[in-house]
Structure 1
Amino acid sequence: MVRVSAPGKVMISGEYVVLEGAPALVAAAPARARVTLAARPTRTSDGSPPDPGRSPDAQPLPPEALLARTCAESVFGPLTRDMDLAIDTTALREGSRKLGLGSSAAAAAGTVAAVAAANGLDVSDPSVRARLLPIALDGHRAVAPEGSGADVAASTLGGFVRVRREGEHLDAARIDWPASLHLALVWTGTPARTSDLVAKVKSLASRDATAYQRAITPLREAAATLLAAIERGDARSAIDAAAAHHDAMQLLGETAGAPIVTPELTKAATIARSIGGSAKPSGAGGGDVAIAFLPSESAIAELGDACRIAGLTLLPLRLGDDGVHVDEPLSS
């Protein structure tokens, strides 16, 4: 048996503009998907042959995991036919609701890593992780054929990852996070469908290119300013740029007729601003999580208290977690 885990993701900057080739920043979250490869029983509990398209508990396997396994085996070599795949993404959910932490990306990355580990590779080696990334991206296209791939990069490489999409290629590299800038995640209580929001923005671009450019240009500029401030370790400038990023995402949503910045996300931004920080949607918006940029550790506690009063939830997750790694080694 081999058991591998992969972190979820949190988008820090560059939402939407990453799809047109602008750089973005994404972080690995410590909520992890667990992927297991284990010997398949010859018969199920009812005596019937096992279905390779289902996990051992008879749940359908997600398409991104099935495709990721196929892609990984084509590169690293086929596994024996009696190896079952199981995926557990409960840590990236709240009950039946997704938290917007990239469960499908983590499932794809974890599956590729499990196949690689079963073939004897050390998936904690940065050079091996770099080999895993394009394979995981291929698998994830089963559910996100037009996605940026930033979530898969975070789940594979871990840490804080600067990404830039160039056609079908994704350039990804880890960066250091400034110690003076503190992050917190706020769950709005409402999951969002990224594909619906992205479709509305793309529709705007196709029907009214001028209006799209007026809306996307401030977002492109805010995202670039935020990333630059983080890379040079300027916490105050990063906090201000994150506020501008929030406003630019709101403008894009209003122009496209897409609810990118919901009342709950606005509430999170208002609270963060009241304690000397800022907050913006993480990911496509429409719900899911807000990411707060704060000047101190003590401000995180203040944010949590204010969020409880406002009906929001502070997620106890520290970003920059490790990438894919083996939790249990291969055994007979």
Structure 2
Amino acid sequence: MSASASAPGKMMLSGEYAVLEGAPALVAAVQARATATIGPAPADDPHVARDLDHAEPRYPEAARTRRLAEKELGEQAGALRIDVEALRKAGRKLGLGSSAAAAAAAAGAVFVGVGRDPQDAVSRARILSLALEGHRAVSPNGSGADVAAAVLGGVVRFRLDPATREADARDGSWPEGLVARVAWTGQAASTRELIGRVHALRDRDAAAYQAAMQRLHDESAHFAAAFQESPAAIVEAAARYHEAMDALGRAADAPIVEGRLRKVAELAAAAGGRAKPSGAGGGDVAIAFFTSDEAAADFEARCAAAEYDVLALELGGPGVKMSSAR
């Protein structure tokens, strides 16, 4: 007998870097889903999760979250098997938050195993708390916005208290008339390396760091306000956030807005929209915003001509939920 749950990936809409300093962030679920299954599995199965105390850890965020959930609900027999292939392209990560989705799915599988619906409001709140704790135990530098999107789904308004590390995650909604497309740069980025360079800036030049972060904080607040105003305001806010991320990268000598992301932004602007990195930058994916389907189609054509992939991703949709065991 197996218990299985799935959880979506994430797309950062705004708040990159600044969310760690307390700025508001917006993050959307992406219906490319990770699946976690607790049940029988071969000993040599490469998809079985292992915590950091194992000689060869795999999906440690998921393994740790399972431990925490079982401490609360009781141990379950079987291995934890993780499938994140939907969050990859040709075996390469896309920057869609696969580790957060795996952690959320792992907690969901434990809840399914004891007969609780992960989508129930009470269960969902507990899964969020457990997945945040499990993910942070392995990756302490993240904000948790990706975990919130994986658990809650839809659009999430997220804020982190930098002093207490308490997360405030609330359901939001997608603005009527706003059209978005996700473009893959073809280059996987190292979030850890980029954050390391930003932290190095903080250590060597506190004033430059504060100036860059204040600008991002202000643009995060501007984007959050625009998200409640109009699609045109969001398009303009995306351009401003892109520029603020680029300024942070230049100050930190970090390729946050590298050549591919810069090109995607140019293609979006030529089509009448605006684009920005989604996540830490350095490659991975960009999100482009438009006020019409026609402009988005123009962007897709321009990306195809420039040999950039526009990913067929549904933004929003359900968070963690029970899945058919496989």
TM-score by length of 2: 0.93
Which has more radius of gyration?
Answer: 1
Correspondences of 1:190-209 after superposition (within 5 Å): 190-209=187-206
2:290 equivalent to 1:298: no
The match for 1:221 is: 218
2:102 equivalent to 1:111: no
- Shift in CA distance, 297/53, structure 1 to aligned 2, threshold 3 Å: closer
Match of 1:175 among 149, 172, 175: 172
How far has the Cα of 1:148 moved from its partner?
Answer: 0.2
Correspondences of 1:1-332 after superposition (within 5 Å): 1-39=2-40, 50=43, 55=48, 61-79=58-76, 82-166=77-161, 167-230=164-227, 232-328=228-324
Counterpart residue identity of residue 311, structure 1:
E
How far has the Cα of 1:86 moved from its partner?
Answer: 0.7
How far has the Cα of 1:121 moved from its partner?
Answer: 1.2
Question: Hey, what's the Cα distance between the residues in 2 that align with 1:33 and 1:84?
Answer: 16
Encode CA deviations 1:171-204: one digit per residue, 9 max, x unaligned: 1011011111111100000010111111111111
Contact kept, 8 Å, 1:53 with 1:60, in 2: the verdict is no
Contact kept, 8 Å, 1:226 with 1:241, in 2: the verdict is yes
Question: Hey, what's the Cα distance between the residues in 1 that align with 2:133 and 2:322?
Answer: 21
Question: Hey, what's the Cα distance between the residues in 1 that align with 2:195 and 2:34?
Answer: 25
Counterpart residue identity of residue 116, structure 2:
L
Gaps of 5+ in 2: 50-55
Encode CA deviations 1:215-248: one digit per residue, 9 max, x unaligned: 2222111111111111x24111111011000000
How far has the Cα of 1:134 moved from its partner?
Answer: 1.3
Work out the percentage of aligned pairs sharing the same amino acid.
48
Question: Hey, what's the Cα distance between the residues in 1 that align with 2:229 and 2:71?
Answer: 42
Q: Secondary structure at the match of 2:323?
A: strand
- Shift in CA distance, 224/118, structure 1 to aligned 2, threshold 3 Å: same
Contact kept, 8 Å, 1:6 with 1:34, in 2: the verdict is yes
How far has the Cα of 1:306 moved from its partner?
Answer: 0.4
How far has the Cα of 1:261 moved from its partner?
Answer: 0.1
How far has the Cα of 1:39 moved from its partner?
Answer: 3.6
Q: Secondary structure at the match of 1:161?
A: strand
Contact kept, 8 Å, 1:240 with 1:278, in 2: the verdict is yes
Question: Hey, what's the Cα distance between the residues in 2 that align with 1:140 and 1:162?
Answer: 19
Counterpart residue identity of residue 68, structure 2:
C
| Aligned Cα root-mean-square deviation (Å) | 1.9
Question: Hey, what's the Cα distance between the residues in 1 that align with 2:321 and 2:254?
Answer: 38
- Shift in CA distance, 278/52, structure 1 to aligned 2, threshold 3 Å: closer
Q: Which runs of 4+ in 1 moved over 2 A?
A: 50-56
Q: Secondary structure at the match of 1:141?
A: helix
Question: Hey, what's the Cα distance between the residues in 1 that align with 2:185 and 2:255?
Answer: 14
Encode CA deviations 1:114-139: one digit per residue, 9 max, x unaligned: 00111121111233211111100111
Contact kept, 8 Å, 1:22 with 1:164, in 2: the verdict is yes
Contact kept, 8 Å, 1:54 with 1:60, in 2: the verdict is no
Aligned length: 317
Counterpart residue identity of residue 23, structure 1:
P
Question: Hey, what's the Cα distance between the residues in 1 that align with 2:98 and 2:306?
Answer: 27
Contact kept, 8 Å, 1:183 with 1:292, in 2: the verdict is yes
Counterpart residue identity of residue 172, structure 2:
I
How far has the Cα of 1:328 moved from its partner?
Answer: 2.1
TM-score by length of 1: 0.91
How far has the Cα of 1:87 moved from its partner?
Answer: 0.5
